[in-house]
Amino acid sequence: MTKKRGFEIVKKFKDAGLDLPQRETANAAGYDIKAAADITIPADGSIKLVSTGLKAYMQADEVLYLINRSSGPYKRGLVLPNSVGVIDADYYNNEKNEGEIFVQMRSISGQDVQIKKGDRIVQAIFIPFLIADDDQAAGVRTGGFGSTGDK
Ligand SMILES: O=c1ccn([C@H]2C[C@H](O)[C@@H](COP(=O)(O)OP(=O)(O)OP(=O)(O)O)O2)c(=O)[nH]1
Ligand SMILES: [Mg+2]
């Protein structure tokens, strides 16, 4: 089978016994992503990066969105401060790193929230996107989290 899109475990977590993301029901859009290690999301509202131990490959005109589970804020008091995480196709095996996906998380409960290894923290949805007529993007991704600068 030709590889089109999917998830792989990054080297750092290769012996950690992680599961590859699954959809829970036949028509679900989202692949549920689990935390790769225990982490506390602090009561003070500061932002933590949660390791997933995963990278994602996809077609050049596809993007992977990380979107909160509806139970995230409602039951656990957890939100993604960036609302939606955008995982670009060229983040996979980029120049500086393998392209591990991290989930930004913040507690809005006023309490510490304990995330345990294996907890399903976010859902990931593959989506095709369009480009504008005059698009001339030719840059090469060298990392993530601000690698392309502010200007
Ligand atoms: O929640 C997220 C958001 C992004 N990323 C990684 C994958 C993505 O391809 C890369 C860049 O994300 P984005 O373009 O949203 O952030 P940026 O601040 O514009 O960084 P850059 O300048 O590297 O594009 O960072 C994550 O691991 N988790
Ligand atoms: Mg960017």
Q: Is 40 left (phi over 0), alpha (psi -120 to 50) or beta?
A: beta
Mean pLDDT, rounded, of the chain:
97
Domain assignment of residue 150, yes or no:
no
**Which residues span the domain enclosing 51?**
6-129
pTM for this structure? 0.96
| 148, part of any domain | no
DSSP string, 106-123: EE-SSS-EEEPTT-EEEE
Closest Cα to atom 1, ligand 1: which residue? 85
- Which atom of ligand 1 is closest in space to residue 82's alpha carbon? 1
- In this prediction, residues 50-66 reach a mean pLDDT of 98
Residue 142 lies in a domain: no
Tokens read off for 18: 């992680």
Best residue for ligand 1 mutational test, from 33, 96, 145 (most atoms within 8 Å of Cβ): 145
From atom 6 of ligand 1, which residue's Cα is the shortest distance away? Answer: 144
* Segment 55-82 mean pLDDT: 97
Judged against a pLDDT cut of 90, whether residue 1 lies above it is answered with: no
ipTM: 0.98
Distance 135 CA to ligand 1 centre (A): 20
Structural domains counted in the chain: 1
| Protein residue whose Cα sits closest to atom 3 of ligand 1 | 85
58 backbone dihedrals φ, ψ, rounded to 5° = -160, 175
Task: Summarize pLDDT for 81-129 with one digit per residue, the tens.
Answer: 999 999 999 999 999 999 999 999 999 999 999 999 999 999 999 999 9
pLDDT digits (tens, 9 = 90+) for 24-39: 999 999 999 999 999 9
CATH of the domain at 79: 2.70.40.10
For a pLDDT cut of 70, what percent of the chain falls above it?
100
